[in-house]
Amino acid sequence: MIAIVVQPGVEFDHSNIIHYQPQEAQPLAQWIESTRMVYEAHSTDYQTRTAYWELVRDHFAILKVGPALTFALREAIFALAQIEQELIAPENRSGCLAVIEEVMLDEPQYWKKYYRTGFNDSLLDIRYSLSDRIRYYWPHSRIKNSVETMMVNLEGVDIHWA
């Protein structure tokens, strides 16, 4: 065994982040020093650069940051979809954002029990939640195809800056 899984007082939900407070984690940080192990810290997404440094310093050496990484991917794809809206003729657009929403609404098993229940609230959570349940849908063939179409569309555009 090389690590113990812990929750070092950091957390996030759909719209809030609890940031690392090193002073609150000192009992854990001091205890592990008497062992040859480190901590695996859960829910460390969305922490500041300083907090990540402090977590590692305090022996939380394995950090779980999946949703924060896929959140960044989602934000990039959404931004590219907006660029596609501006630059590509309507009949050639991928419809990427609409495809994502259609698939997620048709197949809600990865988000239904995590997000709010009203239709508008669900759409807001699907689009913008920090827990980023979209990450489970990226491999879906319809979504993959729409993202690939969008990328091909954008690769074919020459943007003149001057």
Query: Where do the domains of the chain lie?
Result: 3-64, 67-155
d(CA 23, CA 9): 10
Rounded percentage of the chain residues whose pLDDT exceeds 70: 99
- Coil, strand, or helix at residue 17? strand
What is the arithmetic mean of pLDDT over 103-120?
A: 93
Q: What is the pLDDT of residue 27?
A: 95
- Contact by Cβ (8 Å): 45, 114: no
Spell out the residues 6+ positions from residue 126 whose beta carbon is closer than 8 angstroms to its own: 100, 101, 104, 105, 111, 115, 133, 134
What is the arithmetic mean of pLDDT over 88-106?
A: 98
d(CA 120, CA 102): 14
- Coil, strand, or helix at residue 31? helix
What is the arithmetic mean of pLDDT over 121-142?
A: 95
- The CATH number that domain 67-155 falls under is 1.10.400.20
Question: Each residue of 74-87: pLDDT tens digit?
Answer: 999 999 999 999 99
Burial of 47 per CB tally in 10 Å (0-12, 13-18, 19+): buried
d(CA 47, CA 49): 7
What is the arithmetic mean of pLDDT over 32-46?
A: 95
